[in-house]
Amino acid sequence: MTDDKKTYDAESIKVLQGLEGVRKRPAMYIGSTGKDGLHHLVYEVVDNSVDEALAGFCDKINVIITKKNSVVVIDNGRGIPVEKHKQTGKSALETVMTMLHAGGKFDKKSYLISGGLHGVGVSVVNALSKKLIVKIKRDGKIYQQEYERGKAKNGVSVVGKSEATGTEVEFFPDEEIFSTLKFDFETLTARFREIAFLNPGLKIILEDEEKEKKEEFYSKDGLEEFTKWINRTRETLHKPIYFKKEDDGNQIEIVIQYNDSYLDNILGFVNTINTVEGGTHVVGFKTAITRVINDYAKKNNFIKENITITGNDVREGLTAIVAVKLKEPQFEGQTKTKLGNSEIKGVVDSITTLFLAEFFQENPTIAKKIVDKVSQAAKAREAAKKARDLVRRKSAFGFGDLPGKLADCSSRKKEDSEVYIVEGDSAGGSAKQARNKEFQAILPLRGKILNVEKANPHKIFSNNEIASLISAIGTGVTDQFNLEDLRYHKVIIMTDADVDGAHIKTLLLTFFFRYMKELIENGNIFAAVPPLYRIKKGQQIYYVYDDKELEKLKNKIGANVDVQRFKGLGEMNPSQLWETTMNPKTRMLKKITIADAASADNIFSTLMGDKVEPRREFIENNAEYADLDV
């Protein structure tokens, strides 16, 4: 060790001034420096405007994705104060924009209810932006201040006059921080639609200048309308059951609607923020609805044959929204994905119990429909359990019940190994010859697997192809899922680059999303990207993955080239398949992610569900993006 490395004294302790700590560890504040973190910046600024709406001072928010890779957020709220702040000696605006834990949400005078609990949101956005410009309309004037990477570039100046009020923030994310600077219109659409449903009367307008797209979000009926929107691709059993209650300054709002599917969709919100990991409010609701349905069923002798109803049975086909507005929310982590207030569990439990029990007494026809649905779920669960037991693995790496068609790899280190799920015996044969046997396993599947969106669990787990899939992966499914038992670090879907291949890929992704979602969330599911064309000019070989790339290559290398179109994986010889699609050094893989569970759920149910009209509408709206092989 050198002397300077041995030394550990007061000089070794570094104090990060201002917002330096945010720039040093951005993921602590926004979750990541990738796409999710980038969009989190937008949410932080918009949440401040929503807080103005919650306080009753704002009814319109404009969000613009500019051609300059910046985002502008404009509201018609009161505008951030600009006068001198006694404690800091700076303007209130600069204090809010440059200091962590500074804001109007701590004393509960300016904002009784707010999403921005910690007072770090907009200052974090400022810290992670190479440039930020804020304009304030209040007191008949327009004020402006500009910042660079969290530091004020100048003082607050008056740049005009206006009788309106509000705040306008334009920020330019810093390329030194983020791996991508491209904002996604659809990602923001999902969040703003939620906000509009959760704040009836608030209008949000999203605009993308480059794509020339514009969408407006507004809801009159709030959560009931939200539930209908979620269930628009499904057959529902009844109208939404809605109830709302104030309790010690906190507000509990819940809506329930069952549909004829086999899956649940329970969304939790706290002060309009989507708590994607749930929390105490969701736990309290789940406990109450299970108890109420059980009690009602037993009291009215609706359950026979010694069937025990579980929480999973109650949640089958359930769409529910649990939205709470709290004075003092305690989130787990700055990204606010889980509520931690212990007292809220009991409050939501008691309110749900009271209202739902009363609703069942007054609406026995709806209550019976729900109980019938739940009891059928319990029977199907027992049958599915027997089917699952048939495909459950004996041990993480044992061979006792692995499918016979699986060509396993020799490595027993799951972190090094991967399994290719391949359509058909022909492609499976090529893949088995092409693979590296040490770390690559091949599981060929026969044709298109069962559409799990339409089938009941018993039929799903009795299906041979799905049974083989579950056995090979090793984790089990749903309530029996255990990530520790995963046999391969990468599960790679490899299908033909045509319409049939895309359909099979969608069926497989539907299965993973519904029954092994944790694999997607953990980053274990991938899609192989096989080439469409093999181009030969002289002794030079090129592989091309789409028609646009083909035209570019032709223009670059000239005509009289030999073009081979691959109709399927089976048309490639093993060396070509290895070189283009399976060799880790040269292949392309797409990692499958879930950016928004509600949005993904909607796409799956739209494309794979029973209702034709939503599917036709989706195809018509997205036809321009399709690359059809006809």
Same domain, 346 and 249: yes
* Closest among 187, 194, 184, 185 to 274, alpha carbons compared: 194
Most confident of 105-109, 236-240, 539-543: 236-240
pLDDT of residue 600: 55
Active-site residue among 496, 579, 596, 601? 496
Residue 515 falls within a domain, yes or no?
yes
Same domain, 473 and 523: yes
- In order of 61, 202, 318, 510, the CA distances from 69 in angstroms are 19, 26, 40, 34
Decide if pLDDT at 17 tops 60: no
Q: What is the mean pLDDT of residues 543-560?
A: 82
Q: What is the mean pLDDT of residues 272-292?
A: 92
Residue 582 falls within a domain, yes or no?
yes
Q: Which CATH number belongs to the domain containing residue 350 in this structure?
A: 3.30.230.10
The DSSP call for residue 282 is H
Helix axes 342-362, 364-391, angle to 10 degrees: 120
* Closest among 263, 238, 267 to 313, alpha carbons compared: 263
Last residue of a domain, one of 182, 217, 252: 217
pLDDT of residue 210: 92
Active-site residue among 20, 498, 549, 617? 498
pLDDT of residue 3: 52
Give catalytic status of residue 423 as yes or no: yes
What is the extent of the structural domain holding 285? 223-387
Of 72 and 113, the one with more pLDDT? 72
Provide the pLDDT confidence category of residue 398 given band limits of 50, 70 and 90.
Answer: very low
Q: Do the Cβ atoms of 122 and 96 come closer than 8 Å?
A: yes
Residue 630 falls within a domain, yes or no?
no
Same domain, 419 and 459: yes
Least confident span in 158-167, 243-252, 300-309, 403-412? 300-309
Of 149 and 120, the one with more pLDDT? 149
Last residue of a domain, one of 360, 387, 414: 387
Same domain, 332 and 209: no
Same domain, 524 and 542: no
Decide if pLDDT at 454 tops 80: no
Active-site residue among 146, 500, 546, 549? 500
Same domain, 301 and 163: no
Provide the pLDDT confidence category of residue 629 given band limits of 50, 70 and 90.
Answer: very low
Q: Which CATH number belongs to the domain containing residue 65 in this structure?
A: 3.30.565.10
Q: Which CATH number belongs to the domain containing residue 576 in this structure?
A: 3.40.50.670
Decide if pLDDT at 160 tops 90: yes
Q: Which residues contact 151 (CB under 8 A, 6 or more apart)?
A: 18, 19, 98
Same domain, 427 and 575: yes
Last residue of a domain, one of 387, 403, 432: 387
pLDDT of residue 173: 96
pLDDT of residue 290: 96
Residue 11 falls within a domain, yes or no?
no
DSSP string of 121-160? HHHHHHHTEEEEEEEEEETTEEEEEEEETTEESS--EEEE
Residues in the chain: 630
pLDDT of residue 118: 36
Q: What is the pLDDT of residues 489-522, one digit of tens each?
A: 999 999 887 777 878 888 888 888 888 888 988 8
Q: Write out the two tokens for 594.
A: 């879930």
Same domain, 540 and 605: no
Provide the pLDDT confidence category of residue 183 given band limits of 50, 70 and 90.
Answer: very high
Decide if pLDDT at 25 tops 90: no
Give catalytic status of residue 500 as yes or no: yes
Decide if pLDDT at 287 tops 60: yes
pLDDT of residue 467: 87
Most confident of 99-113, 162-176, 256-270, 551-565: 162-176
Q: Do the Cβ atoms of 69 and 182 come closer than 8 Å?
A: yes
Domains held by the chain: number: 4
Q: Is the dihedral of CA 86, 88, 91, 93 positive or negative?
A: negative
Residue 3 falls within a domain, yes or no?
no
Same domain, 134 and 242: no
Residue 6 falls within a domain, yes or no?
no
How much of the chain is in helix, strand and coil states, percent to nearest 5? 40, 20, 40
Residue 9 falls within a domain, yes or no?
no
Q: What is the pLDDT of residues 191-223, one digit of tens each?
A: 999 999 999 999 999 999 999 999 999 999 999
Active-site residue among 194, 423, 453, 596? 423
Provide the mean pLDDT of the chain.
Answer: 84
pLDDT of residue 399: 39
Question: d(Cα 601, Cα 233) in Å, to the nearest integer?
Answer: 10
Same domain, 280 and 344: yes
Of 443 and 514, the one with more pLDDT? 443
Same domain, 198 and 333: no
Strands (DSSP E) contained in 278-370 are 318-325
For residue 540, the cross-strand partners are: 537
Provide the pLDDT confidence category of residue 621 given band limits of 50, 70 and 90.
Answer: low
Q: What is the mean pLDDT of residues 103-121?
A: 51
- Enter the pTM of the model: 0.70
Query: What's CA 110's distance to the chain center, in Å?
Result: 32
Q: What is the mean pLDDT of residues 344-370?
A: 96
Q: What is the mean pLDDT of residues 31-44?
A: 90
Same domain, 538 and 526: no
Residue 15 falls within a domain, yes or no?
no
Provide the pLDDT confidence category of residue 104 given band limits of 50, 70 and 90.
Answer: low
Question: d(Cα 180, Cα 174) in Å, to the nearest integer?
Answer: 10
